[in-house]
Amino acid sequence: MVKQAKDIRHLIDRRLKLWQANQFDNFINEALSSDKQLRNIAIKSHDENHIIQMFSRFMLKGRVRDAMNYLIENGKSTVLHSSDTLSTNGTTSTVFDVLQEKHPSPAQPQNTAFSLTDCMDQLPHLQQVTITNEIVEKVARKLHGGGGPCRSNSEQWGDFLLRFGSASHRFRGSVADLACLLNNQRVPWEQIHALMACRLTALDKCPGVRPIEIGECLRRILSKCIIEVSKHEVTDACGENQLCSGLMGGIEGAVHAMNSMFQEKCHSGSKWGLLLVNARKECAQFGKQTTSPLASSSSLAKSSSIFVQHIPRILRVSNSRRK
């Protein structure tokens, strides 16, 4: 595996020459070969030395919160391979089968989903937005998280966008232009489907499986740039009806309100209660291909509705993928 800086520069230069020479088949074959090598890397055991090493690495990078979370959550959940087997209620299934069950095929939307609301005669005019270098820089300084299918994580993208002087300035301009393109124009899906790919990882909940979808860092950067210029529209439109849309303290206020309500109404002999409905599969099927959120975005978030339509997810597990 290439690790030295000199070898990395030589490798990047050679691949750029392949790209410029339109030798895309050789370029793709080399990328696939490298990807297979990454899959064969064994996951390190969480022994004491490894825990100390990871904690020190986080602290030296100033990631105090990540360091503390690693100490607290270490050993509670591990990464599962798609071929691992699980036993639940006497039945045995693979992790891949469980992930497929948690991500069912999308349901076809009804015709009423394409209808305008009663208060709308026609779709409003879409507003154009301008993403600047300063917005990209602001987003890059707060970026965190792992890498998607290409494995380039937030630290690497932070270096690309911030730590190489004039080259980073030009790169921020290119990212800003791409964000404007995806938000202000309709782009063919074939040109951006690789950008929307997510790496689907399974964590062991002991018992159960928790799916984690890790998207490309560039996709997160573009999304956060659009949020910076259009979040006020969503906050104003949703108001108190959707507490996760950016209202300060909205979720915390809901928790305190529910606690107060329980203390007031739940007592001996009370007929007041709470009904919890498990609608995991129904929500998953409905949310994969429904057009209602897209129609709502066109009317409520006029400056970001096209971008919302450009960012569906493609989930990839081993050699399979699901859109």
pLDDT at 322 over 50: no
The DSSP line for 89-125 is: TTEEEEHHHHHHHHSPPPPPPPGGGGSPPTT-SSPPP
User: Within a domain: residue 268?
Assistant: no
Total domains in the chain come to 3
The average pLDDT across 172-179 equals 93
User: Within a domain: residue 317?
Assistant: yes
- Round to whole Å and give the CA distance between 73 and 65: 12
The CA distances from residue 275 to 108, 239, 272, 278, in Å, are 29, 25, 10, 10
CB 8 within 8 A of CB 2: yes
Structure tokens belonging to residue 60? 């030296």
Pair (28, 57) in one structural domain: no
Pair (151, 209) in one structural domain: yes
Pair (141, 29) in one structural domain: no
pLDDT at 290 over 50: no
Pair (294, 160) in one structural domain: yes
User: Within a domain: residue 157?
Assistant: yes
Candidate from 78-82, 224-228, 238-242 with smallest mean pLDDT? 238-242
The average pLDDT across 228-256 equals 67
User: Within a domain: residue 183?
Assistant: yes
User: Within a domain: residue 141?
Assistant: yes
Pair (293, 303) in one structural domain: yes
**Residues 71-97: tens digit of each pLDDT:** 776 655 677 787 788 777 777 888 888
Pair (36, 63) in one structural domain: no
Pair (2, 57) in one structural domain: no
User: What per-residue confidence (pLDDT) applies to 45?
Assistant: 54
Per the omega criterion (within 30 degrees of 0), is the bond before 211 cis? no
User: Within a domain: residue 263?
Assistant: no
User: Within a domain: residue 289?
Assistant: yes
Pair (33, 149) in one structural domain: no
User: Within a domain: residue 71?
Assistant: yes
- Round to whole Å and give the CA distance between 127 and 29: 42
**Residues 32-86: tens digit of each pLDDT:** 887 777 655 555 556 678 788 888 888 887 778 878 877 776 655 677 787 788 7
Structural domain boundaries, residue 298:
77-114+121-243+279-323
Query: What is the amino acid identity at position 286?
Result: F
- Round to whole Å and give the CA distance between 35 and 117: 47
Q: Quickly state the pLDDT bin for 309 (edges 50, 70, 90).
A: confident
User: What per-residue confidence (pLDDT) applies to 248?
Assistant: 59
Pair (30, 60) in one structural domain: no
CB 224 within 8 A of CB 138: no
User: What per-residue confidence (pLDDT) applies to 76?
Assistant: 59
Pair (51, 86) in one structural domain: no
Pair (110, 210) in one structural domain: yes
The DSSP line for 40-90 is: TSPPPP--HHHHHHHHHHHHHTT-HHHHHHHHHHTTT--EEPTT-EEEETT
Q: 188: left (phi > 0), else alpha (psi -120 to 50), else beta?
A: beta
pTM attached to this predicted model: 0.70
User: What per-residue confidence (pLDDT) applies to 43?
Assistant: 53
User: What per-residue confidence (pLDDT) applies to 291?
Assistant: 46
Pair (87, 70) in one structural domain: no
pLDDT at 9 over 60: yes
**Residues 192-223: tens digit of each pLDDT:** 888 888 888 888 777 778 888 888 899 999 98
pLDDT at 168 over 90: yes
